Structures are given as structure tokens and as C-alpha cells.
Structure 1
Amino acid sequence: MPHPASTSTVTRRLVLQASAALPALACASQGRETRPVPPPAPFTQHRFTSADGTSLSYFRQGDGPPLVWVHGALSLWSDWRDVAERLSPHFTNHVLERRGRGHSADAATYSLEREVEDVLALMKVAGQDAALFGHSYGAVLALEVARRAAPAKLLLYEPPLPITQPVSGPALAEFDRALAQEGPDAALVVFNRKVLLTPEAELEAFRQTPQWTRQVEMTPRFARELHALEALPLGLEAYREVRSPTLVLLGDRSTDVLLARPCRALAKTLENARLSILSGQGHVAHVTAPALLAREVSAFLRE
């Protein structure tokens, strides 16, 4: 899910909406000479086959215990390159390229269950001791995976779960009409206005950016994900069976009903979970604070 509306400035809004990862800043130690640290080996692309026969792509980098990453909606695997790369000295990253994106194939019909099978298949490739990280819609997939096969550890960054009300509600019908009659640009406008409650000035500024163009291109796939979320039952009862050590990540600037309430409820519901607040962040800390997010992930995995 893209970053919800907040009281931030238009400039910050555009940064938060950006899907491309920011480059890391080099920092030299003061008062002593340091030898340059060699860059990690590049990500290498690999393929695997899901349960329904769909051929999918993932990107691998690093050394150490396996860690599987599942990105969210309106997003690409490369958006997570910066954060994952920071963990590569200690973990072997397996970053999924979700079906219908990039080099991953798609199927004629879609369901959330097919994507759960995709993640399960990649977890098998990664190994029995693999940890699992999911962001937004990818966090919903990760949570569903954990019900079926417990990962070594589970990290969930702001899954948009329907706690007391549907995720999109009546706005979904308006989104569908706009998509069918006016196209993906109009549908994405509806989503920002009616679900994210994005202020008009910020929305109009965002529509002038390359990130908006990229999200418009992904909106037809986004539509099927919104419908999958809408079909989920209200509440968290189905997830009580998840036993993996779990870290729930929440930005303190993320919207209350759509993200904060589900995160807080999930941390209380799961038997072996705790909540970690990302100070000054919203829904895309992998863009705005990759070093902070990488530290949170690494600390939890190395406990």
C-alpha cells in the first residue's frame, strides 16, 4: 500500500510516495584512517516454479541464514534493494519479484492463495531455517504463509488488515468504476482521495512525478489485490495459531485506522509477537530511512 496522508509538507509527501530506494550515504570515521569497505557482491537473479506452475523470479545476495523478502502493492523488488543490501554481510537475501511484475510470469486468474503459494515455494528454496519479511500487502501474504508453515522468524511491516471494517469499503466500487470507465490514472486518484485521504494539493503534486506514472502502470494489478484484501474476514482470530517469533513494525506517522490499529492489535493477538515503532516514519521507511529499518530487522533476527 502507498503511504497514507499525513500532516507533512508536500515535499515530504513526495519523498514518502517515491518507490525507488534512496542511495546509502557514505560516512567516514573521524580522527583515524579507515580502509575502504568493498561493496557487497551484486544481486543475482534466479527462478523457481510455484505450485500452479507459474515461473517466478527472485534476487539473491549475501551470506548467512536465509531471509525472504516480500514487497507490497504498487511496488517492485528493487524498492527493497537498499535495505536488503545492508543485511547482506550477515544474511542471505531472497527478494521475491511478485507475480505479474518484472521477470515473474502471471496466470489467467488471480487469488491471494496463489501468492501465498508463491512465497511458500520461495521459502522452500531458501531453506528450513529461513526468516520471512513482508511489507504492506506482502505482510498480509507473509502472515498467511506463517499459518501454513512457520518461518524461523516473522517480520511484518504495516499489514493493512480489516480489524473492525473493510480496508477499502464503499470506495472500492468507485475505484472499480473509475478503472473501467476512465482508466488507471482516475482509479488511483480515487484510491488516494477516498482510502488514503490524501490532501488535494499533495495529490496534484504527486501526479506530476515519475513515481505516479509507475504506480499508474501497476494499478490494474493493484485492483485485484484490493479485492483480495476486501474478501478477508474482519478481525485477527485466524492468526492466533501463528507461533513464530514475530516483530510488527509500525511508523509513528502512519494512518490510524488503515495501518496503526491493525499493527497494535496484531502485536497483542499473536502469542510470540512484539511491536516496534519507527520514529518519524510512515509506510515507506525502506525509502525514507533504510538504515533505520535495516537496523531494526538485523537486531531482531540476531537476537
Structure 2
Amino acid sequence: MTHARSSPTVSRRLVLQAGAALPLAACAARPSTDALPAAPASPSTAAPASPSSTAPASAAFSHHRFTSADGTSLSYFRKGTGPALVWVHGALSLWSDWRDVAERLSPHFTNHVLERRGRGQSGDSPRYALEREVEDVLALMKLAGPDAALFGHSFGGVLALEVARQVAPAKLLVYEPPLPVTQPVSGPFLEEFKQTLQREGPDAALVLFNQKLLFTPPAELEAFRQSLVWSRQVGMTAGFTRELEALETLPLGLDRYRQVTTPTLVLLGDQSTEVLLAQPCRAVATTLPNARLNVLGGQGHVAHVTAPDLLAREVLAFLRG
């Protein structure tokens, strides 16, 4: 994973509370270096080496393509051995933000990391809708095979839940999906965000998002704005608008997920903002009949950046259990 440099004044709290999809690469604490346990040996193969934070750069993910239901050509990255595990990243994010965690799990699972439409080498369609993104994940799940597990982060967690309503994955993991439990995700803020984007540009719109939905303290926000990560996210802000709009199409409440009987792990950082992220996590965990909630101590919305070993161990323990 290529980490962006940032000002040393960007605090750990900013990374932990980065909210609805902020992969603030390397802006805070150094990731843990505890290795995962090695995968068990099979009769025909020796156990692969235990993954660690110093995995060789030569062990690359292979790039592949597939076609979604609307004919859009999409990209995904694959690495590993064992049962299939499909990863869906969030908004304001790239597939490569999940490379560190997937790398650690590659001795245990065949990782299929989606590059969501409109990013990198994936195509796009002018007729965007939440349903198109759900179809994208369904197509990759079909390619990965009937026993594939599914992991979704943030907006990707919403997609994963919608997918599970149609086709049950072997197991489901969602990390802080922003859902309309008792109120819309964006509500009146969405129109203000769009007007700010139109009048003042993406930098001002992203500032507004941090102020009004993430409640980022002024000093931390100003420090974040000096980072290269901010520059990357400014470039993705226009596309972020359609994802905010897509979330507003979801009905209030989570009753429609009661039919998802797949064993499910809901992940929540104890530093994450309450209404946008923590409340939906608790609601998902109590609504799905076979779900449980795990709270990541000292973490926020980006444990894949701040604690990839911790997150990989959580995933491994659940999928092996």
C-alpha cells in the first residue's frame, strides 16, 4: 500500500474519527507488527509463511476484469489461497487502501478486492444508482464462487448488506456502514453540500462535510487540509456526491435486513462518531438474527490504516469460527 505523507500535526484522533470514508493513510499511529497465525497445512501443501507488516513488496496482487449487469467493465485485484473473500471499499477511497489488511490474510483466503466503478481502471456509467453498485458486487461474488465471504467498509458495508438481501454470502462482515436508522444519513446537509460544491468547489464542500457530519475540530481539520490525503479526496468529492445521494434513497429503519440470516460480524471503532456510524452498527447487530458486534478499542473508522493487524485478526477469527 502506498501511504500518503502528511503533516505531523495531524493528530491520531483525526485519523480515528475520519468518518464516512476517510482512508487517512499513515496520518497517525504506526500499525501493529504482530503477525497473524499461519494457515493450517493441508495434505498437499505446506503452511504458507505468516503475514506481517513487513511482507515482501514482490508479492503482488494480480489484476483482473469482469463485467457487471449493465455492461460496465470493472476491475478487481486478487491474491491468496483458500476460500474466497470479497472486499468492498467505501466512498472517498480506493481498493489499495485495503491492500495491507488483505495482504495479511492472503495465506488464509483468496482475496478479491473490488475497485468500485468510477475509480482507477474500473469503468463507469452515466446512469448511476445504488442498485448498479449492488449489481457490481453481486457479479464479483458470482465470479468468486458460492462459498465466498463478503466484507464491506462504510458505503461498501451498505452495499454488502444490500447484496446479502439478494444472495447470501458464506459469511458477512460490515465495518461501520452509515445507514438511516432513525433519520436520513445526510438529510438537509446534502443540499447544502451540493450548493457549496457548485458555488465554491470541492475543497469547500469537503470542509463542510468534515465540519457538519464528522464534527472535526477546527485545528485538526486545518492540519488535515495540508496533507496529500486531503488533495486526493478533494479530487474524489464530485463522485462522493452521488454516493451521498444514493444513501438518501434508502428507507428509514433496518427492518428489510431482518431476512439476512447469514452469520454476520459488525465492526465498530470506539472512537467513531455516534449518529453517523456507531448507532447504525448497534442497530445492524440487533436487527440481523445471526449478527454480533465487535468493538475495536482505540480505533475509529480507519482501522485498516491505523491497526491492520488487529483488523485482520478480527476477520480471521470470525471467518474461521
> Shared topology, TM-score over 0.5?
yes
Runs of 4+ in 1 over 2 A off after TM superposition: 13-28, 36-41
Alignment of 1:145-160 (within 5 A): 145-160=163-178
Asked if the contact 2:75–2:114 (Cα under 8 Å) also holds between the matched residues in 1, the reply is yes
Measure the CA separation in 2 of the matches of 1:134 and 1:15: 19
Any idea what the Cα deviations from partners look like across 1:126-175, whole Å, max 9, x if unmatched? 00000000000000000000000000000000000010111112111110
Aligned equivalent of 2:61: 43
Secondary structure in structure 1 of the residue aligned to 2:235: helix
Q: Which of 251, 271, 276 is equivalent to 1:233?
A: 251
Structure 1 segments unaligned to the other structure (5+ residues) = 1-8, 29-35
Q: Which of 23, 27, 52 is equivalent to 1:19?
A: 23
Q: Which of 60, 75, 91 is equivalent to 1:57?
A: 75
Measure the CA separation in 1 of the matches of 2:272 and 2:286: 18
* Matched letter for residue 170 of structure 2: A
Cα distance, 1:41 vs. partner?
3.2
Asked if the contact 2:100–2:304 (Cα under 8 Å) also holds between the matched residues in 1, the reply is yes
Asked if the contact 1:50–1:118 (Cα under 8 Å) also holds between the matched residues in 2, the reply is yes
Secondary structure in structure 2 of the residue aligned to 1:277: strand
Cα distance, 1:19 vs. partner?
2.6
Sort the Cα spacing of 1:27 and 1:83 in 2 relative to 1 into closer, same or farther, 3 A: closer
Q: Which of 77, 80, 100 is equivalent to 2:95?
A: 77
Alignment of 1:68-217 (within 5 A): 68-217=86-235
Aligned equivalent of 1:287: 305
What's the % identity of the aligned pairs?
Answer: 74
Secondary structure in structure 2 of the residue aligned to 1:240: helix
Measure the CA separation in 1 of the matches of 2:143 and 2:60: 19
* 2:272 counterpart of 1:265: no
Aligned equivalent of 1:66: 84
Asked if the contact 2:32–2:310 (Cα under 8 Å) also holds between the matched residues in 1, the reply is no
Cα distance, 1:60 vs. partner?
0.1
Asked if the contact 2:31–2:306 (Cα under 8 Å) also holds between the matched residues in 1, the reply is no
Cα distance, 1:197 vs. partner?
1.4
Once structures 1 and 2 are overlaid, which stretch shifts more, 192-201 or 209-218?
192-201
Once structures 1 and 2 are overlaid, which stretch shifts more, 192-201 or 270-279?
192-201
Asked if the contact 1:73–1:222 (Cα under 8 Å) also holds between the matched residues in 2, the reply is yes
Measure the CA separation in 1 of the matches of 2:284 and 2:250: 15
Q: How many residues align?
A: 288
Asked if the contact 2:32–2:307 (Cα under 8 Å) also holds between the matched residues in 1, the reply is no
Sort the Cα spacing of 1:27 and 1:121 in 2 relative to 1 into closer, same or farther, 3 A: closer
Measure the CA separation in 2 of the matches of 1:24 and 1:45: 26
* Matched letter for residue 271 of structure 1: P
Secondary structure in structure 1 of the residue aligned to 2:250: coil
Superposition TM-score, scaled by structure 2 size: 0.86
Asked if the contact 2:67–2:74 (Cα under 8 Å) also holds between the matched residues in 1, the reply is yes
Sort the Cα spacing of 1:256 and 1:299 in 2 relative to 1 into closer, same or farther, 3 A: same
In angstroms, what is the RMSD of aligned CA positions? 1.8
Asked if the contact 2:31–2:305 (Cα under 8 Å) also holds between the matched residues in 1, the reply is no
Cα distance, 1:13 vs. partner?
3.7
Secondary structure in structure 1 of the residue aligned to 2:277: helix
Measure the CA separation in 1 of the matches of 2:312 and 2:24: 16
Cα distance, 1:186 vs. partner?
1.0
Cα distance, 1:255 vs. partner?
1.0
Measure the CA separation in 1 of the matches of 2:148 and 2:24: 26
* Matched letter for residue 94 of structure 1: H
Asked if the contact 1:63–1:88 (Cα under 8 Å) also holds between the matched residues in 2, the reply is yes
Any idea what the Cα deviations from partners look like across 1:243-267, whole Å, max 9, x if unmatched? 1100000001111111111111111
Structure 2 segments unaligned to the other structure (5+ residues) = 1-8, 36-48
Asked if the contact 1:72–1:138 (Cα under 8 Å) also holds between the matched residues in 2, the reply is yes
Asked if the contact 1:20–1:79 (Cα under 8 Å) also holds between the matched residues in 2, the reply is no
Cα distance, 1:27 vs. partner?
6.5
Measure the CA separation in 2 of the matches of 1:211 and 1:159: 22
Asked if the contact 1:21–1:82 (Cα under 8 Å) also holds between the matched residues in 2, the reply is no
